[in-house]
Structure 1
Amino acid sequence: MALAPSKIFSGYRALGFVSNHIPLVTRYHKRHKDNYIVTCVGQAFHVYNASKLGIVAVSDLHPDDISVLAADHRFIFTAAGNNVFAVKRNKKIEKTYKGHNTDVILLLPFGPHLISIDGDGFLIVWEISSEEKYLQMKFDPEAFSVTAIAHPHTYVNKILLGSKQGSLQLWNIHTNKLIYSFPGWGSSVTTIQQSTAIDVMAIGLADGQIILHNLAVDKTVAKFKQEYGPVTVIGFRTDGHPIMVTGSSAGHIALWNLENRKLHSYMKEAHCASVTGLVCLPSEPIMVTSAGDNSLKVWIFDTADGGARLLRMREGHSAPPTCIQFYGNDGHTILSAGQDSTMRAFSTVHDKHNKSLGRASYYKKASKRAGLKLDKHKMPPIIKFAAEPNRESDWDNIIACHRSLNIVSSWSFQRSTMGKHMFSHPRFSQDVMEHPVTATAVEISPCGNFAFIGYSSGHVDVYNLQSGIHRGSYGNPQAHDVTVRGIACDALNQKIVTAGADGTLCFWRCKGKQLLGDLKMYAFVSEILLHRDSSMLAVSLDDFTISIVDIDTRRAVRQFAGHSSAVTNMTFRADGRWLISASMDCTIATWNVPTGKLIDVFILRSAPTSISISPCGSFLATTHIGDVGVYLWSNRTLYTHVSLTPLPPDYKPLLAELPGTAATDSEGVEVTDKAEDDEYKSVEQISDELVTLSLLPASRWLNLLNLDVIKMRNKPKEPPKVPKAAPFFLPTVAGLVPKFDVQQDSTSPSQADSHVKKPQLGALSDLAVILTKAHNSGCYSDVLKALKEMGPSAIDREIRTLCAEEGGSDEVMLYFLEFVDAVLRSNKDFELAHSYLALFLKVYGEEIASKVLLLAGLEKLAHSQLHSWNRIQVMLQRTLGIATYLKSAVV
């Protein structure tokens, strides 16, 4: 069982991954009659259906990042490192092919065989079913470095190889012979694709040329050239239209008319990165493309000029996210802003709920009207944003500040687009080059009406979100003399807290804008975060520490020190008991705010840039440097017991791996916390410190004192009647439907048949006999066992037979008191001992008071009972006091 790096959080799954730079592959399912698209997402691949572009399956994680994808009708073949894998049913790794010494760069399914080529020029032909090598060849990388591979249709046992040097070779893999060598066209071969004509292959070159070459006669049929970079991929329409499609490294897609031998149409910036995957579905006017911009697009050829238009797509951030935040109270949506200047919403429930809020643009309406590309008017990346669900259906409810801009953009979550307002004060329009000012902090009031914006000049402005009108500024003329690092508004719109880079916190009246006071921190402030319900303000400082400030008393109440680098982001749990911080030292720490202790910390391979915990506390979302995904971590405290004892000062965090795109569980993982209270303790160990209760139901002991009342209430009104014995042959009643004659005899049973057994006089009862034996041996476990097996009525009857009038004696009654005393001193079956004692005192209270022997035994028992109860009462009062304090601290 492996040790878990974090005792609170465990990796769940990653969001926002669609594809990467590895070319996609397609498969056709005969039974489903649908095409499936396979894209790579690091160590796993996704499978989508082409009809709705819905995700069908996520493969198991590979030991390394996938470098090549290929597929046939049985398996999906992947290469990770120097190993090749065959994946069955889109998920499970079925076969592994080991034999390469370097990374595999090319794969080609070839009937019952699989061809793989590595970076050193080794070509291996594998038997797919037996995983054995059928053939192995070696190419000299200096003379012929293989860059492309294809199988010409109708060419039995033959493959065509393209090289970095520009030449091509046709090989027969059955006889292991070189059939023909093509000199090439003076440029490296980047891709080879079979055309719709027999013997004709399409060859893409690094200089942008596309060569249609007839292999049978070694003659070039046609040449095309694209002016915007190397040819990365080639495809052909197979639905009756002579169109060839090529992709470039600049993200453009070109459509070529093969009959007229000229450019048919041009799709500029179809992707934001190099087009690496392009497949025209068989006999359909559908084309599927993918690129390294984390997008998968389906195009349809249905325009009037025969061009393609975008039919559907799935995409994530093409550049790493800069800021994330859970949106709403259900914890199902995560807002994310990326370095690609886009804002997106990811769903933690299902990817079909993901949506894009668009890309930030200076002149969005003008761009659409003029038909220009948004890239010409794209705004810089969003560095911070604030969102408020209230009034989202009325007006814009998200504001964002951009890198190196004093303009703050507004967004609407409900309309999934940029808003109509661009907040920028006229004071910043003059002398922009001499005195550049940048918006550095944003906040929205809880009511959703006002937007607060802080600038690098120290100004703090207030705008109305509905109208976009400026509603005033804090300070005269500015709130701080330095850059504003953070703004926070309390839950009742009464106070505004602004943080300056010089370590000064200013407290303002929200409506009147008067300064209420300030607080000077002992270091420069980098970020602030307010928990509105508890009025606790978390302040991260440049000395890598975090302070908790009570904004009501304006005092620092907690201080957390443990990070060794700058704190990048912080988030509060909904109840305010936890503060989770991320740092550039690649750690994520969880602090217990009431106790001021570090309770959990783990380290990651890449530094986290932003974190956010869901309102219900079920997930922690993180983003990381150089990573386009949003990672979810499940909170283990919601479904298992986790000890939240503080970590020792010398604790060294363990490395946690980022979760994959498939949901994972934390079974088989052992937490690293080894506190003593996590160890199992038996009943005997617990009884030394506390008291234990029995496992008997309450009906067996709770109503012993009220048993006489219960019997009186349940007493039948009439005596029970003995039914007449049924005859051997039941008589029947004449009629259409035969019926048995079950008429009851009205005669009462004979009184002579009833017998009442009277107890033998002078004999001890069963309980008295067991008590006597227990007194002689000094062990009363048999007595307790016998009473546990009895019902309430039997216990009442046995206790009433202990006196001398019912066959017992004073000694037996004393033995019973000794039995109760022994149970109390053992700290076990606490409630049973008190219940039996209460019934005994109710029955024999007057008799005990008149006998000295029994009074002495009762005084000894009273001392034991008082000692055991006082010890438990102290613990209960202490626990109630701590619970009351923690509750008041949170509220």
Structure 2
Amino acid sequence: MVQAEGKLLEDGLEEGELVALGQRTSLYAPFRVLGLVTCEGSGRMLGGTSSPKPCFYELGIAPFVVVPLGRCLQLYDGRTLRLLSLSNALPSRITAVAHLGRERLVVATQHSLHITEQLRSRVSIETAPGGCIVGLYAFGNGVFVAVDAGERCARTYNRDNELVSEVFFGEDITPNGLIVHPPTMLDVVCIGSDQGRIALVDICHSRILQTLDFSKHGAVTALSESPALDIIGMGFHDGSVIIYDIGRGSILDQYNLRMHLPLGTSLTVNALCFRNDDANAFPHLFSFHSDGSLCIYDLEARRVLDTIPRLHRGPCRMAFFYPREPILLTIGDEDNRMNMFICDSPSGAPRLLKYRAGHRAPPTRIRFIGEDYRQLISAGCSDQQLRVTSTVVSHHHRELSQVTTRLRRARKRARQMQHERAIEASDEFALDEDDPDTASLLPPVTDFAVSEARQNDPDLANLVTCHLGRSEAYTWRYAENHRYRHVLRFRGDASTDLDQGTATCVSISTCGHFAAVGLSVGHVDLFNLQSGLHRWRIRNAHHPGGVAGVAFDGSGGLLASLGSHDGRLGIYRHQSREKVADIVVHSPGLQLIWSPVSDLLAVSCADDFSIKVFEAASGRCVRWLRGHAARITDICFSCQADGRQILSTSLDGTLRTWDLVAGRCVDVLRMAAAPTSCAMSPRGDFIVTTHVGHIGICMWHCKAYYRGPSEQGNMVALSSRAGNGLDVEALWRRHAVQLPDLAMSWDPVVSAVADATASPENNPRCVSLTVEPIDDAHCGVVFSSQPESYWLLLPYLDEIKEQNKATRESDSVTGTQKPPPPLVAELHDGYREAADASVSPGIEDRRPLPDSIASSFVDALQRADFATAAKRLDALTPAAADVEIRLLPPEALADALSFFTWRLESERDFELAQAQLRVFLNEHAELIMKEPALQHGASKCLRALDSSWLRCEDTLSKVLFLCQYLRDSV
């Protein structure tokens, strides 16, 4: 590493540029993450940590739900389940949240408390360094209780956010954050623990009133208040549910579900809720268990009323009834799903009303849909889902139903004919198309192809998928959100086609009428998407081995196929199946893509982790891109008009951008988690990536789209200085870039002051880019207060005089019009005599003599008092400032260069300094180039000019990016 830095320093790079290069990427910056509804991943992905409980509150009659995710808060409308707002990222992960009143929340992080209003942090309260707040309970008057599991205590804060009491527990009680408040017991809260004990704490007198021992049932996992006074529900780790009367200190009822749930089912109770719309008509208690099942208890009859399995794919994070309504809202912990049920049946069983969901498992492949970047389609491996995600509006996220229209109509007829409750329940929960059984789902998607050519034709499918272990391919229409009726299956002679293999890859022609499917036995099939019929088959196109990729060219006349073992690339004519070219790749292939705007094919290789680019017409390898250190997971061409870049992701944790013209890597984005797929928006302003262990879709904005290709060109030149680019890549790979968060502290262009510092609470290998605050003297580029005509007029005074000259000549012929008034009135007579030599013949000189104010400009330059010089020069009119700059003596040019360098570095009066510098260079450029002593000052001024312009360009790119995004969102 030291030798690499020394080599770059010898090549002329400054140390500051070297540090900036090693700490940040040049082309992409994190923007946001999509698809997260209730969780960031499964418990295994997050290290088994428990998720904080969401918060429900009402403003008038409008319900709202606050869901904490990572370091951010998401606010949902309780009626429509639409995302309303998103908070800024807090310093660390959120561990608890509670409602203080109105739009105020108290949010607990690992080491501090935050009082937020409208999801914006207003007050921060530091807590004990060794503590960890796991639970919050807020009273209606602004008083709240914070339970600290690390310190084993409960602290009470008043409405002024001051600590008023503190209660410590013994070694036999480890609070787990479950808190309820009996309405009839003032200043008393019930706190659950991991040992199965419940402590009744008097927060006013800082004492423990009573400890209820239920340790034989395991840890307390759920607490809930009932509509009846002094009655609470308790759920335990062994699946027991106890109804307890706190006032009398007795157990009213107790249930155990071992006889009602299937053998081997996890019985841990995750959530409890009482129905409160009509307690007399429906005295029901709902308990949710860790396998996602629901049990309904009839408290009046003291029996289990019903059990409903698979309500969630995993434990339920929280469940509650809306006040005085039969509306049940459940929030999943691992399935990234929020369900709203209505209990309007006579038996009181819930039915699904609406839901909001995302991927349950990390997606493995992603592509954009349409000509804009509004929607993208992603496929998950473990969750067997195919989802459409909107980059603009979160409630447009949807899952493509795997039930065809024909099957949906058959189910509707079956429901009309059969009225028995068992059949209705089975159809409602096991065969519901929104939450189908895993056995009825298609296998995981291994590859898919999408086309927008015929998306408005209802008789053509525009999405084709290949599934694990299936020889047939399935068609879809993503605009209608369901699977199409055709299944692309080869029906040949059974004697000659005993082994059909499995479909491994698929591609759709440019016209949208045909789909090519590659098989694991080496065959390539072509299907018509309108009729679903098989057209032809190329037998043993790749043998031995299977087909790793198929692709159509931009015109749709040629079809290419890549072998996964034979290392060959074949190109065929679409209509005649004639083999046009047979290219030897010399490596097993992983993926094949064909540029839509050129005749180039890109192949990812399995043995040397490289990308080979071939020209289809000649069959020769035109580029060999090497640099990845592990298996390449995805490649795609840039969506620009020229298609000159290739994006590739690898299991080595990097996303590389390759320039086909330069033939080398121009950017390496090392990520904290290995990327599995990538795609660039059709406009080239966004890229999206999926990662191992992350169910969200990370969105990055391309800074080159808003800043132009200047940075990209600099990276290409920098790679050429380092020979083969290995030394530069070592600097690129020095730090990992943190993945986008739900709410980023957004800066589309990370400037040179971005400091890469390791976050102590996160993975030490992951580095977050934080921008240090800038002092008042350097708060950014600042424009002057002069009117726009002032600095626009200054560089063009000569042109204005030429126009005035022509006007006066025409006036002298006609003699009917008066000459225009001078730009500057009341000129000194002595000045005209001194400036006659510099004025063109026939032009009346109207430039003022340098008076006492103007003369002080040169004096200030010679004293190096640049602040005074700037004030004197700005006080002059445009014509007077033009004269003052043009009549600078030769001995003052060096001081003038230092003055303009200081003014550009100060980043004050940006546009005025640019106009004055232009006049100065137009007049004195020849003399500066002849004098070697002045060239050094000119080089410093040039560097200051570049630095100030980059800072201004950064600010402009932010505004342009935001305006573009808001315009497209409307």
TM-score bracket, normalised by the shorter chain, equals 0.7 to 0.9
1:18 correspondence with 2:87:
no
Q: Letter of the aligned partner of 2:816 in structure 1?
A: P
> In terms of mean alpha carbon deviation, does 126-135 or 571-580 score higher?
126-135
Go from structure 1 to structure 2 and tell me whether the alpha carbon gap of 1:114 and 1:411 turns closer, same or farther (over 3 Å shift): same
Q: Among 48, 51, 65, which residue is 2:76 paired with?
A: 48
Contact 2:701 2:748 in 1 (8 A): no
Instruction: Write the mapping of 1:384-783 to structure 2, written as runs, cut at 5 A.
Output: 384-394=447-457, 395-426=460-491, 437-474=501-538, 476-501=539-564, 502-542=566-606, 543-575=608-640, 576-640=643-707, 642-644=710-712, 645=714, 646=716, 647=719, 648=722, 649=725, 650-651=727-728, 652-653=731-732, 654-662=735-743, 664-666=745-747, 669-670=750-751, 700-701=798-799, 719=816, 766-768=835-837
- Which segment drifts farther, 553-562 or 84-93? 84-93
Q: Which residue of the partner structure matches residue 246 of structure 1?
A: 287
Matched-pair contact (CA < 8 Å) for 1:544–1:565: yes
Aligned positions of 1:88-99 closer than 5 A? 88-92=117-121, 94-99=123-128
545-554 vs 323-332, which deviates more? 545-554
Separation in 2, partners of 1:630, 1:429: 43
Cα offset for 1:503? 1.8
Distance in 2 (CA, whole Å) between partners of 1:94 and 1:634 is 32
User: d(CA) in 2 for partners of 1:553 and 1:112?
Assistant: 76
From 138, 142, 149, the equivalent of 1:109 is 138
The one-letter code of the counterpart of 1:409 is: Y
Instruction: Note if contact 1:507-1:517 (Cα within 8 Å) is conserved in structure 2.
Output: yes
State which drifts further: 359-368 or 548-557.
359-368
SS, match of residue 695 in structure 2: coil
CA–CA distance in 2 between the matches of 1:199 and 1:827?
81
> Gaps spanning 5+ residues in structure 2: where?
1-15, 40-49, 262-266, 416-426, 756-791, 820-828, 842-857, 859-872, 882-916, 926-970
Rate the CA distance shift 1:707–1:162 in 2: closer, same or farther, 3 A: closer
Question: CA shift at 1:528, angstroms?
Answer: 1.5
Contact 1:11 1:664 in 2 (8 A): no
For 2:393, the equivalent position in structure 1 comes to 350
CA contact (8 A) 2:472 2:487 kept: yes
| Alpha carbons 1:362, 1:379 under 8 Å: kept | no
Deviations along 1:792-828, one digit per CA (max 9) or x if unpaired, are xxxxxxxxxxxxxxxxxxxxxxxxxxxxxxxxxx999
In 2 relative to 1, CA 618–768 (structure 1 residues): closer, same or farther, beyond 3 Å?
A: closer
The Cα of 1:165 is off from its aligned counterpart by 3.6
Please identify which structure carries the higher helix content.
2
TM-superposed deviation, 1:536: 1.6
Rounded Cα–Cα distance in structure 2 between residues aligned with 1:417 and 1:672? 49
Equivalent-residue separation in structure 2 for 1:382 and 1:361 (angstroms): 17
- Equivalent pairs counted in the alignment come to 728
Higher CA-based Rg: 1
In 1, the alpha carbon distance for the partners of 2:201 and 2:129 equals 21
Gaps of 5+ in 1: 675-693, 723-759, 773-781, 792-825, 835-891
What letter matches 1:569 in structure 2? D
Q: Helix, strand or coil for the counterpart of 2:704? A: helix
Instruction: Using the TM superposition, give the Cα deviation of residue 225 of structure 1 relative to its aligned residue in structure 2, in angstroms.
Output: 3.4
Q: Which amino acid aligns with 1:239?
A: D
Counterpart amino acid of residue 629 in structure 1 = G
Paired AA for residue 711 in structure 2: S
Quote the offset at 1:409 in angstroms.
Answer: 1.6
Counterpart amino acid of residue 180 in structure 1:
Q
Q: Which amino acid aligns with 2:689?
A: T
Deviation at 1:461, TM superposition (A): 0.4
- Is 1:64 matched with 2:92? yes
2:238 corresponds to: 207
Structure 1 letter corresponding to 2:105: I
Tell me what 2:186 maps to. Answer: 156
**Alignment partners' CA distance in 2, 1:429 and 1:138:** 75
The 8 Å contact of residues 7 and 672 in structure 1, kept in 2 or not, is answered as no
Contact 1:294 1:318 in 2 (8 A): yes
After superposition, the Cα gap between the structure-2 partners of 1:537 and 1:362, relative to the gap in structure 1 and judged at 3 Å, is farther
Task: Name the SS for the 1:637 alignment partner.
Answer: helix
Task: Label 1:23 to 1:103 Cα distance change in 2 as closer, same or farther (>3 A).
Answer: closer
Q: Would you say the 8 A contact 2:653–2:674 is kept in 1?
A: yes
Call closer, same or farther: CA 1:162–1:491 in 2, change over 3 Å.
same
Q: Which amino acid aligns with 2:453?
A: N
Distance 2:207 2:482 in 1: 60
Q: Among residues 290, 309, 315, which one is paired with 1:274 in the alignment?
A: 315
Task: Letter of the 2:297 partner, please give it.
Answer: W
Aligned partner (choices 171, 180, 193) of residue 140 of structure 1: 171
Quickly say closer, same or farther: Cα 1:552–1:657, change in 2 above 3 A: same
Residue deviations 1:672-713 (CA, integer Å, cap 9, x gap) = 999xxxxxxxxxxxxxxxxxxx98666844995x98876676
Q: Is it true that 1:39 corresponds to 2:93 in the alignment?
A: no
Distance 1:203 1:162, change over 3 A: same
What's the CA shift for 1:348?
Answer: 1.4
Residue 48 of structure 1 aligns to a residue in which SS? strand
Partner amino acid for 1:181? T
Give the superposed CA RMSD: 3.8
Instruction: Quote how far apart the aligned CAs of 1:224 are.
Output: 3.1
Q: Is the 8 A contact 2:147 2:155 kept in 1?
A: no
Check whether the contact 2:506–2:515 (CA below 8 A) recurs between aligned residues: yes
Q: C-alpha separation between the residues in 1 aligned to 2:250 and 2:130?
A: 38
Separation (CA, whole Å) in 1 of partners of 2:229 and 2:493: 67
Q: 2:337 — aligned with what?
A: 295
CA distance in 2, matches of 1:64, 1:570: 34
1:259 to 300, 304, 329: 300
Give the aligned residue type for 1:719.
Answer: T
What is aligned with 1:808? none
Q: CA deviation at 1:494?
A: 1.2
Map residues 360-379 of structure 1 onto 2, 5 A cutoff.
Answer: 365=408, 369=414, 371=427, 372-373=430-431, 374-375=436-437, 376-379=439-442
Partner of 1:28: 57
2:508 alignment partner AA: I
The normalised TM-score by structure 2 is 0.69
Alignment TM-score, normalising by the size of structure 1:
0.75
Distance 2:129 2:474 in 1: 53
Q: C-alpha distance in 2, partners of 1:343/1:618?
A: 25
Q: Distance in 2 between matches of 1:673 and 1:218?
A: 60
Instruction: Give the aligned residue type for 2:700.
Output: W
Task: Give the counterpart of 1:382 among 445, 459, 463.
Answer: 445
Residues 211 and 138 of structure 1, relative CA distance in 2, 3 Å threshold: closer
* Offset at residue 65 of structure 1 (A): 2.9
Q: Secondary structure at the match of 1:643?
A: helix
Q: Does structure 1 retain, via aligned residues, the 8 Å contact 2:100–2:143? A: no
Contact 1:406 1:428 in 2 (8 A): no
Assess, with a 3 A threshold, how the Cα gap between structure 1 residues 562 and 670 changes in structure 2: closer, same or farther. same
Partner of 2:205: 175
CA distance in 2, matches of 1:709, 1:120: 86
Shift of 1:78: 3.3
Q: Shift of residue 22 of structure 1?
A: 2.8
User: Against the structure 1 CA distance between its residues 148 and 428, is the aligned structure 2 distance closer, same or farther, given a 3 Å change threshold?
Assistant: farther
Q: Distance in 1 between matches of 2:318 and 2:176?
A: 19
CA contact (8 A) 1:279 1:289 kept: yes
CA separation in 2, counterparts of 1:220 and 1:769?
105
Bigger mean CA deviation after superposition, 518-527 or 367-376: 367-376
Other-structure match for 1:85: 114
In the alignment, the residues of structure 2 paired with residue 770 and residue 390 of structure 1 have an alpha-carbon distance, to the nearest angstrom, of 66
Q: Distance in 2 between matches of 1:596 and 1:571?
A: 16
Partner Cα distance (1:570, 1:238) in 2: 55
Q: Percent identity?
A: 25
Aligned residue identity for 2:89: L
